[in-house]
Structure 1
């Protein structure tokens, strides 16, 4: 059996050079990865003195072997340490669980009418990428805002080239119709240039230029153009009031950490081009209680060494090896990076906000049920999502033999049902019983409003239906140019029993089958059943209102007094239905034409 003296002897023989060390247990599994400027001193410190930390003492008791890799510098060791932690996932390292590819806003280049769109993945297309953004929802919110100010096209090139008439985006004034020549290339290019300046944070320059063009248009008596520019300026000013960071005009990340009861929360506030584009909370895995300084020291390399690095990172706690981390981030990013812990004025104000958010988010995390988190994590894994979903929407249709159809939209967030965000849609102009058409109408009405900024986009859209429903929904979303959205159809299966659902993920050929005891399936069933309940309640209310309404109210020429006169003369609606046109015309105030209209309505004919 291996004794503790053996790893101590290994440590004594290590060189005084920088590198990475890996601690192994009796099964040969790596339980800890660390870096050092001197391997002998750092590794020897684990065995040459009494450990005050319970976590370290527990880990040292398990060590039976040590492996090392010598590097050229401590900076190289930091980069290698980060890579090994992510690949080996050692038990005693602080681990960043939520490692994802961030979304960007993409502005294409090299074509007469560039495209502004959502992008996630490899950035190899010709054009500019603005970001990263904390979530797909924040990208969609920014795009919706920009479409109100700079109505650039978001459609794919294949759709753009095939258009012969303006799409719905043009009708709701979110695009200027370049596909069919409704805007001059020079005017479109000006919108593109202003959109770039806006994304770079140069709002004041854009407003000044637009104000000059508005004055020029008014001088030339082009009042329609002047009014359009006035509205654009007003939207820009509102965007500044809502998102502007006073005194900050660069790309800055503001990070605050709070830890308690063995749980840590890292709150990250994204500022891009002087605008706040959203926040994101991380919950690193802790091997034991960890101080915020240790959590941030582990978080910074894991989060930034493989991704986009801003010019400045403001942190709530000073971290060990700050200069080393700055140098490593500068090496991978190709530009100078500043880590700042002591800030005042504007940055201090935003750091205080991030600290408050971190404390509140940690409190909610500790107070929330573990089963809720487990269900969301299971759904993320089942669907292969890059990040934990934060907002889900589910739609369902309810009617009785085609009568009074109602569509429901229910919303779940990290805390469960968000009932204040529930919506119902009375379906009109659709053939009775056409669930496909009803679903398409509901999705179009809902997501047209979201495109206009009247609500938040979800991370996942669930549809109570199979492949047919999913196809109609996909067509509507494509027409509205809603991208970056995970769409899931929930089919009941052949037996139609709970637990036998088939999940159809848009863009994936093979269906997904989850076991009946899957927490992800339980979450899907919960939101599906809630959508069904909400749709039925709406349908019953609409049906009752319809049945309580007299058909005579559908006749515009027939006022309340003459309605009462008819019902009094014939003794009620049933007797009124048995009357002929001539009988109706004998009532004072009822002409033969009006009598014919009453007869037609009572016998199912349109007025």
Structure 2
């Protein structure tokens, strides 16, 4: 069914195409809504296969009239970012770059770093390619404007202020130490600073300092003076958003599904960083120039706009996009295609980087496909009820029963999910009893998962033989859980499958990708267990052996460990060798030797 387009006006604006479920499937902008929308339904008009598929799904068209084509471009970009329609070009950022978020929509706003941007009424500054200077800036802002950084609820009840109040880093609105109006005024001053209006803030603070001084409120005047000093220091550290020699270089590489975009940042004539992005083709199959135009429209909604943007090919609607960018930057912005010289060389280098990013993506995809195939074979070999896309592996590490640690590693879709790894300090087992330790760790893990209604794994892998497997199964039965579990014994790489009457042993050839997948999980759980055990043992030895020596504090302990590398080498060192360490006098060296001698006796 063709939607009714007879009432669409001949004016600039944005159109929203919807399917039979009233979902927005495409958003576009036009100088003339009537002419642009009607083009989709002209039978003689050449369209790509994706556009034809989209048109077949259109059941309704909504529109928003704007005052100009530039306004339509801005609205289109905002609506695409918010709704992410299926047929629009979808910009994906390979790394989530940090933003500074100011929650001006809250009663007592906060300023903090976030890596996600929402349409939630807050103010966002960024994205920034380097988080360290951003952290320094926020630290200085808290010093100058004393804005709260904690999540504490302000509900009208008086709360005891935290340390930040006592070190003059927060006005403690939680304690009623500042009114809502004064606090919001401070927030808006900080926002002005983030926007680059340092001069206005300095004038305002200078006037305030002079007023306090005139009223002989010298402590208040000194506090404002310190704010001015800190603000001037921060202002000097801030990098200008765009100098005359600043430019962004945008280059691409593409395969059948994805366009890989590389952005090089040139500041003061020097390359200072880069970022990787990827986009789907949307309905722009084969049209790289249009893709780059869409990228620019989406990316520069948030990113600082340099005076010059260099691209590989002329882009459609260049004049319109340039006008919008110039309005955003409050200065002239150029989009250029360099034909020769240093800029062309840099653009070619960006293109090579984009191509390498594409190749790396293909390798990752190939690895993921191989891992998925291994999981299919693993399911078939072990007769598992589902594809084991979520595997959890366990191991125990201890030496002579001391500092025992259990490890948990998680594999999702055949790949390590390192942010979900966990280690468990053994609490209930004394001495050497690997079976009881395994039972404790497995029990603790899945008791918590069960209590919190978390999703259980598709397969549990135990590093060990029948004893460890039996102990782990005992813990699962106590919890009433039925999760597929197997063990992998190191010696022969035999797979132990627990059964009611007698465990089954599955032997796979060493060339089996299913066995290799289990071995990878097993080896990773062993590596993680050993490293966790080593850290715990080192911490215990460092504490017990050095912290009990009078005169050895944290800095001297660190110096000794850095110099000798281990407690054992410190124990064997002579007075002269110990005294070579910075901060260790001959007398203190003699005390260290006496301490270790007394331990031997």
- With structure 1 as the length reference, what TM-score do the two structures score? 0.44
Compare relative contact order (CA 8 Å, sep 6+) and give the higher one, 1 or 2: 1
